[in-house]
Chains A and B, each alone.
Chain A
Amino acid sequence: MVGLRRLIGGSAGTLLVGVLAGFVISSAVGVFIQDSGLFGASGESPIAHAYMLGYLQRDPNAIVGIRPNQSIAQRAAELQGADASRATASIQPLSLTYIGGGSVGSYSVHIYAVDLRNAQGVDQFFSFALTVAGGKVIRRE
Chain B
Amino acid sequence: MNEARAMATLALFAVGILGGVVLHAFLEKGPAENPFPALPKVDEPPAAHDFVAAVGAEDAQALSKMADISILTDLDAALQPIVDVRSTRFVGAVESEGRLLSAYVVTGKTAQGIDFVVGFVLRVANDQVVGVN
Contacts and interface: CB of A to CB of B under 8 A. Distances in A.
Q: Do A and B make up one complex?
A: yes
Interface string A85-119: 00000000111111111111101111101010000
A25 B39 contact: no
B130 to A, nearest CB: 12
B118 A109 contact: yes
A60 B14 CA distance: 42
B71 interface: no
Contacts of A126: 101, 133
B120 A141 contact: yes
B62 interface: no
B20 interface: yes
A46 B30 contact: yes
Nearest to A96: B36
Q: Interface size class for chain B?
A: 35 or more
B116 to A, nearest CB: 6
A101 B32 contact: no
Contacts of B15: 15, 18
B31 A50 contact: yes
Contacts of A16: 16
Given A16-B16, A56-B36, A99-B94, A104 B119 contact: no
A26 interface: yes
Given A14-B9, A101-B105, A113 B94 contact: yes
B38 A96 contact: yes
A98 to B, nearest CB: 7
Nearest to A100: B91
Contacts of A49: 31-32, 34
Contacts of B92: 99-100, 111
19 contacts: A11-B9, A15-B19, A16-B16, A18-B13, A18-B16, A22-B16, A22-B18, A23-B20, A23-B24, A26-B21, A26-B24, A46-B31, A94-B36, A102-B91, A102-B117, A109-B119, A113-B94, A125-B96, A141-B118
